[in-house]
Copies of this chain bind each other. A is one copy, B any other.
Amino acid sequence: MFNEEIIIIFELVIIFEMSKKKIAEPDLSTEEKIKDAAQRVFMQKGYAATRTRDIAEEAGINLALLNYYFRSKEKLFELIMLEKLEKFFGSVAPVLNNAETTLDQKVILFSNNYIDLLIENPELPLFILSEIRYNPDRFAHKLPVAKIADSLFLKQLHEKRQDINPVHFLMNILAMSVFPFIMKPVFHSAGIMNDKTFTARMMERKALIPKWINAMLKAK
């Protein structure tokens, strides 16, 4: 019947709208609900400012369940922090050590992949870096800094510009890709840029950064 079809269409529209607005998915297990909520709250407020009650409320669960499933606030944080560290650092070393790609290709691959990652996780850099700052020793050994410091990428850079420490160039690529996301809260809270225009600018940068790095390498 005609009416039934209309009803079905309305239902589909409602489902679609719900999936767009990311309304709390009620079919997750309690453990996953807590982890998801903890992720959001920790990322937004940092470890110290986060109350276990905030997480419980965000997850829509009883406070005691947090300790039931994860022992303690600290254990839960450690779990999430390790995942976020992997997300933030994990993809860097593989790209920089890929033996199949040239220097130029590495720059393109890195800035493209990394900016895509950060568009999906804009608060990641500031979260990671402040938590490391406020607890330097705790995660020191978890960072793949050695694999980056001895990377093929830095050797390839050194061949191209023996007069300048290649760490400078690596720093610049990182800076130009990551720093805008660290400044985002400033622009946003000052009402200068909304999320949409910010993302658009970041998309532009994916193509621009490799060109800029090339220009820097050729300079003088």
Contacts and interface: CB of A to CB of B under 8 A. Distances in A.
A26 interface: no
Contact of A188 (B44, B134, B136, B212): B136
Contacts of A216: 212, 215-216
A82 interface: no
B129 A208 contact: no
Interface string A138-162: 0110010110010000000000000
Contacts of A123: 133
Nearest to A218: B215
Interface of A: 44-49, 123, 126, 129-130, 132-134, 136-137, 139-140, 143, 145-146, 149, 164-165, 167-168, 171-172, 174-176, 178-180, 182-183, 185-192, 201, 204-205, 208, 211-212, 214-216, 218-220
A133 to B, nearest CB: 4
Max count, chain B CB within 10 A of own CB: residue among A45, A47, A219, A220: A219
Given A143-B190, A189-B132, A172 B212 contact: yes
A201 B46 contact: no
A143 B186 contact: yes
A186 B132 contact: yes
B140 A204 contact: no
